[in-house]
């Protein structure tokens, strides 16, 4: 990064490296509690099938270290670079999503082709694609400025982008991942100030496409029926839902105690992944559920606060997208465990075993911390940029999110 930016004084290294302590503390708590819950959820399975009962914990700790390193790298890279590299990032993201269809990389599990095999590691491209989608969409929306609110440059152009990214994920038979990608992109477009009628049209298109995809596979229809009435098929489609209910019921107010859960004893299959929130409910009770949900809510609110204080248009969109990339799968996963929505096969960020989700979330956190640091750096240099921070959502009495005016978009972004 150059030592100076248009409209700002020299970059102070201390300000550039300043960390948002609220967001950082929330992520530390999520990662710490997540490791403790994962140990409890996976201990019995690892003791039975692996060399050590700490197998899944050790594996997750290694991935946490890798993710922390990549997150730090994302934090150190200036947003200016991401905007310069965004077209290439978008192309690489598309290439990554195509790898599951390339012979030699294909890796199928449970009937889905959403993973690739690299060396001895299985990687889920749709998880890593989230960070790439955030960067590409931020560049696209910032470049269009006010035009992003209209039909052709806003709705139509980005509908094509959504269709391409989400379509590839759907071809991998990953409806949950496609839904998350759609919500991230649609949320960023909504934050641009797109007209409400187009937002409603987006919602309708996403709902219609999701329903059609559900109907195209019989097992998904059975899953919906099991969700609507799990007692009708207690040993089939409703089995996991009912046992998740039992876990939360057993937990009561303060839980059975760490390590004392019953449903993890092979009643709920793969409980250390998609249904790990049931372990929280059973062992830590309502208090634990409220704590974990509260931490994710704090992450989301802090992310929106950082977006509100963003110094430039690209920063604003990156903050919105990075916040959604972590918060959306978290709330969907918790809703699935509580049977508020049908099962989607999504990991609970920082909790579920799996490196792809963990690394992706830490990279998005790094991007979010970069936006926060740049906001602090601008304040330390010359105060808020004229017409930028004060015009961001929430600075005025507005009913919905709207971005700063194009004049605040900063260097390298067309007004």
* Vertex 184 angle, CA 178 and 189, to 5°: 125
Structure tokens at 116: 């690739």
pLDDT beyond 60 at 412 = no
Q: Is the per-residue pLDDT at 9 higher than 60?
A: no
Global pTM? 0.86
Mean pLDDT is lowest, of 232-236, 308-312, 327-331, for 232-236
DSSP label of 10 = B
- Phi and psi at residue 262, to the nearest 5°: -100, -40
Lowest mean pLDDT among 38-47, 57-66, 99-108, 223-232: 99-108
> Region 187-195: what's the mean pLDDT?
88
Please write the tens of the pLDDT for every residue from 63-105: 999 999 999 999 999 999 999 999 999 999 999 898 888 877 7
Lowest mean pLDDT, pick from 177-181, 253-257, 398-402: 398-402
Smallest CA-to-CA distance from 148 within 323, 16, 13, 313 is with 313
Phi and psi torsions of 114, nearest 5°: -95, 5
**Dihedral, CA of residue 207, residue 139, residue 24 and residue 130, to nearest 10:** 40
**Is pLDDT above 60 for 193?**
yes
Q: Which secondary-structure segment (H or E) carries 253?
A: none
Sheet holding 106-109, edge to edge: 106-109, 112-118, 121-123
pLDDT of residue 29 exceeding 90: yes
Q: What pLDDT shows up at residue 31?
A: 97
* Greater pLDDT, 382 or 50: 50
Residue predicted with more confidence, 408 or 370? 370
* pLDDT at 47 exceeding the cut of 80: yes
Share of the chain above pLDDT 70, in %: 85
Give the model's pLDDT for residue 21.
94
Distances (CA, A) of 295 to 271, 298, 406: 21, 5, 34
Contact present, 198 and 155 (Cβ < 8 Å): yes
Q: Is the pLDDT at 363 greater than 70, yes or no?
A: yes
Structure tokens given for 52: 């050590």
Query: What is the reported pLDDT for 119?
Result: 67
Q: What is the mean pLDDT of the chain?
A: 84
| The token pair that represents 287 in the structure block | 């208090």
Strand partners, 107: 115
Write down the domain spans for the chain: 13-89+126-142+217-408
Pairing outcome for strands 121-123 and 112-118 = antiparallel
Contacts of 251-255 with C-beta under 8 Å, sequence gap 24+, read 251/281, 251/282, 251/283, 251/284, 251/285, 251/286, 251/288, 251/289, 252/285, 252/286, 253/285, 253/286, 253/287, 254/284, 254/285, 254/286, 254/287, 255/281, 255/282, 255/283, 255/284, 255/285, 255/287, 255/288
Q: Taking 50 as the threshold, does the pLDDT of residue 414 lie above it?
A: no
């Amino acid at each position: 990064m150059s030592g100076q930016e248009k409209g700002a004084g020299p970059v102070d290294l201390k300000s550039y490296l300043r960390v948002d302590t609220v967001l950082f503390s929330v992520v530390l708590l999520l990662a710490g509690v997540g490791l403790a819950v994962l140990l409890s959820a996976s201990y019995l399975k690892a003791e039975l099938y692996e060399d050590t009962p700490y197998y899944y914990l050790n594996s997750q700790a290694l991935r946490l270290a890798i993710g922390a390193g990549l997150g730090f790298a994302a934090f150190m890279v200036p947003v200016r670079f991401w905007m310069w590299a965004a077209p290439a990032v978008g192309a690489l993201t598309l290439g990554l999503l195509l790898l599951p269809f390339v012979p030699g990389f294909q890796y199928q599990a449970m009937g889905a082709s959403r993973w690739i095999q690299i060396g001895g590691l299985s990687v889920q491209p749709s998880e890593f694609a989230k960070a790439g989608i955030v960067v590409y969409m931020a560049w696209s929306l910032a470049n269009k400025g006010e035009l992003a609110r209209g039909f052709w440059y806003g709705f139509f152009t980005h509908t094509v982008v959504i269709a391409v990214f989400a379509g590839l994920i759907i071809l991998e038979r990953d409806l949950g991942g496609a839904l998350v990608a759609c919500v991230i992109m649609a949320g960023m477009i909504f934050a641009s100030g797109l007209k409400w009628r187009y937002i409603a049209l987006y919602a309708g298109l996403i709902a219609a496409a999701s329903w059609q995809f559900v109907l195209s596979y019989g097992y998904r229809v059975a899953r919906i029926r099991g969700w609507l009435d799990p007692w009708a098929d207690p040993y089939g489609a409703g089995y996991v839902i009912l046992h998740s209910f039992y876990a939360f019921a057993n937990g009561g107010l303060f839980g059975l105690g760490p390590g004392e859960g019953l449903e993890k004893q092979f009643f709920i299959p793969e409980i250390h992944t998609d249904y790990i929130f049931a372990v929280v409910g059973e062992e830590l009770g309502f208090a634990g559920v409220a704590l974990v949900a509260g931490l994710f809510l704090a992450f989301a609110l802090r992310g929106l606060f950082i977006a509100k204080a963003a110094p430039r248009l690209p920063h604003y969109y990156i903050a919105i997208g990075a916040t959604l990339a972590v918060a959306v799968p978290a709330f969907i996963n918790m809703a699935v465990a509580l049977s508020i929505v049908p099962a989607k096969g999504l990991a609970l960020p920082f909790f579920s075993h799996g490196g792809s989700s963990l690394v992706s979330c830490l990279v998005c956190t790094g991007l979010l911390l970069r936006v926060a640091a740049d906001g602090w750096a601008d304040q330390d240099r010359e105060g808020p940029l004229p017409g930028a921070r004060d015009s961001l959502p929430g600075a005025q009495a507005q009913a919905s999110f709207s971005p700063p005016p194009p004049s605040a978009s900063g260097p390298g972004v067309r007004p």
